[in-house]
Amino acid sequence: MSRSADVTAEAAPTVSKSQRTYEWVRERILSREFSPGYRLVLGAIAAELEVSAVPVREAVRRLEAEGLVEFEKNVGARVATIDEAAYHNTMETLGALEGVATALALPLLTTSDLDRAEALNAEMRRLLEDFDPVRFTSLNEQFHRVLFVRCPNPHIGELVGRGWNRLAGLRRSTFSFVPARAKESVAEHQRILELIRTGADALDVEMAVRHHRWKTVSAYREASHSTP
Please, are residues 185 and 140 in contact by the beta-carbon 8 Å criterion? yes
Residue 133: which of 73, 180, 77 has the closest Cα? 180
Cβ neighbours, 10 Å, residue 86 = 17
User: Tell me, what's the pLDDT at 170?
Assistant: 62
- Helix or strand or coil: residue 78? strand
Question: Residue type for 51, please?
Answer: V
User: Tell me, what's the pLDDT at 145?
Assistant: 96
Top pLDDT among 36 and 228 is at 36
User: Tell me, what's the pLDDT at 80?
Assistant: 75
End-to-end CA distance of the chain: 69
- Helix or strand or coil: residue 82? coil
pLDDT value at 12 more than 60: no
pLDDT value at 70 more than 80: yes
pLDDT value at 105 more than 60: yes
Residue 88: which of 31, 176, 163 has the closest Cα? 163
Once rounded to an integer, what is the mean pLDDT over residues 126-153? 91
pLDDT value at 8 more than 60: no
Once rounded to an integer, what is the mean pLDDT over residues 196-200? 97
The whole model's pTM is what?
0.65
Question: Residue type for 56, please?
Answer: V
